[in-house]
Copies of this chain bind each other. A is one copy, B any other.
Amino acid sequence: MSKGLPKQSEDFPGWYQEVVKQAGMAEHGSARGSQVIKPYGYALWENMQRALDDRFKATGHENLMFPLLIPYSVLAREEEHLEGFSAEVWTVTQGGGKELEEPLAIRPTSEATIWSAYSNWIQSYRDLPLLYNQWCNVMRYELRTRLFLRTSEFLWQEGHTAHATRDEAWEEALQMLEIYREVAEDILCVPVLAGRKSEAQRFPGADETFPIEGMMRDKRALQCGTSHFLGQNFSKAYDVKFLTDQGEQEYAWGTSWGWSTRMVGGTVMAHGDDKGLRLPPAVAPTQAVIVPIYKTDDERTRVLEVATKIKDGLVGNGVRVKVDDRDQHRPGFKFAEWELKGVPVRMELGPRDVEADHVVMVDRVTGEKRTVATDSAIADMASVLNAVQKALRDDATAFRDANTHEAATFDEVREGVAAEGGFWITPWCGDAQCEEKVSAETSASIRVLPLEREDPGGPCLVCGNPGTERATWAKAY
Q: List residues of chain A with CB under 8 Å of any chain B CB.
A: 27, 29-31, 34-39, 41-43, 46, 62-71, 74, 86-97, 103-104, 106, 113, 116-117, 126, 132, 136-137, 139, 141, 143, 152-153, 155, 328
The docked-state distance in angstroms from the alpha carbon of A68 to that of B37 is 12
Partner pick for A34 among B67, B88, B94, B97, CB 8 A cutoff: B67
| Cβ–Cβ contact B42 & A74, under 8 A | no
List the B residue with the shortest CB-CB distance to A261.
B65
Interface centre among A88, A96, A113, by most B CB within 10 Å?
A96
The docked-state distance in angstroms from the alpha carbon of A132 to that of B43 is 12
Q: A30-B116, A132-B39 are in contact. Are A91 and B87 (CB under 8 A)?
A: no
Q: For the complex formed, measure the closest distance between the CB of A336 and the CB atoms of chain B, giving whole angstroms.
A: 18
| Cβ–Cβ contact B90 & A137, under 8 A | no
The docked-state distance in angstroms from the alpha carbon of A465 to that of B225 is 68
Inter-chain contacts of A155 with B (CB < 8 A):
65
List the B residue with the shortest CB-CB distance to A328.
B126
Inter-chain contacts of A27 with B (CB < 8 A):
117
List the B residue with the shortest CB-CB distance to A28.
B67
Closest 6 CB pairs of A and B: A96-B141, A34-B67, A39-B62, A91-B94, A29-B67, A37-B65
* Beyond A29-B113, A91-B95, A92-B93, 19 extra complex contacts between A and B, CB < 8 Å: A27-B117, A30-B70, A36-B66, A42-B63, A42-B65, A43-B63, A46-B63, A67-B153, A68-B139, A69-B90, A86-B97, A87-B97, A89-B95, A91-B92, A93-B93, A93-B94, A95-B141, A126-B328, A137-B137
The docked-state distance in angstroms from the alpha carbon of A35 to that of B117 is 11
Q: For the complex formed, measure the closest distance between the CB of A98 and the CB atoms of chain B, giving whole angstroms.
A: 9
Query: What are 20 A-B contacts defined by CB distance under 8 Å?
Result: A29-B67, A29-B113, A30-B70, A30-B74, A30-B117, A31-B70, A36-B64, A36-B66, A36-B117, A39-B132, A42-B65, A65-B155, A69-B90, A69-B153, A86-B97, A87-B96, A91-B93, A91-B94, A93-B94, A96-B141
Partner pick for A38 among B37, B64, B113, CB 8 A cutoff: B64
List the B residue with the shortest CB-CB distance to A126.
B328
The docked-state distance in angstroms from the alpha carbon of A204 to that of B27 is 28
The docked-state distance in angstroms from the alpha carbon of A67 to that of B43 is 17
Q: For the complex formed, measure the closest distance between the CB of A460 and the CB atoms of chain B, giving whole angstroms.
A: 36
| Cβ–Cβ contact B95 & A90, under 8 A | yes
The docked-state distance in angstroms from the alpha carbon of A87 to that of B98 is 9
The docked-state distance in angstroms from the alpha carbon of A285 to that of B222 is 37
The docked-state distance in angstroms from the alpha carbon of A462 to that of B46 is 53
Inter-chain contacts of A117 with B (CB < 8 A):
27, 29-30, 36
The docked-state distance in angstroms from the alpha carbon of A126 to that of B328 is 9
Inter-chain contacts of A62 with B (CB < 8 A):
39, 42-43
Q: For the complex formed, measure the closest distance between the CB of A208 and the CB atoms of chain B, giving whole angstroms.
A: 27
The docked-state distance in angstroms from the alpha carbon of A153 to that of B104 is 13
The docked-state distance in angstroms from the alpha carbon of A104 to that of B103 is 15
Inter-chain contacts of A92 with B (CB < 8 A):
90-93, 106
Inter-chain contacts of A132 with B (CB < 8 A):
39
| Cβ–Cβ contact A30 & B71, under 8 A | yes
Q: For the complex formed, measure the closest distance between the CB of A244 and the CB atoms of chain B, giving whole angstroms.
A: 15
Inter-chain contacts of A34 with B (CB < 8 A):
67-69
The docked-state distance in angstroms from the alpha carbon of A136 to that of B135 is 10
The docked-state distance in angstroms from the alpha carbon of A67 to that of B139 is 10
Partner pick for A88 among B31, B96, B104, B126, CB 8 A cutoff: B96
| Cβ–Cβ contact A68 & B30, under 8 A | no
The docked-state distance in angstroms from the alpha carbon of A68 to that of B140 is 12
The docked-state distance in angstroms from the alpha carbon of A86 to that of B137 is 23
Q: For the complex formed, measure the closest distance between the CB of A369 and the CB atoms of chain B, giving whole angstroms.
A: 30
Inter-chain contacts of A64 with B (CB < 8 A):
36-39, 41-42
Q: For the complex formed, measure the closest distance between the CB of A387 and the CB atoms of chain B, giving whole angstroms.
A: 28
Partner pick for A67 among B35, B66, B91, CB 8 A cutoff: B35
Inter-chain contacts of A139 with B (CB < 8 A):
68-69
Inter-chain contacts of A71 with B (CB < 8 A):
30-31
Inter-chain contacts of A37 with B (CB < 8 A):
64-65
Q: For the complex formed, measure the closest distance between the CB of A103 and the CB atoms of chain B, giving whole angstroms.
A: 8
Partner pick for A65 among B36, B66, B90, B328, CB 8 A cutoff: B36
The docked-state distance in angstroms from the alpha carbon of A70 to that of B36 is 12
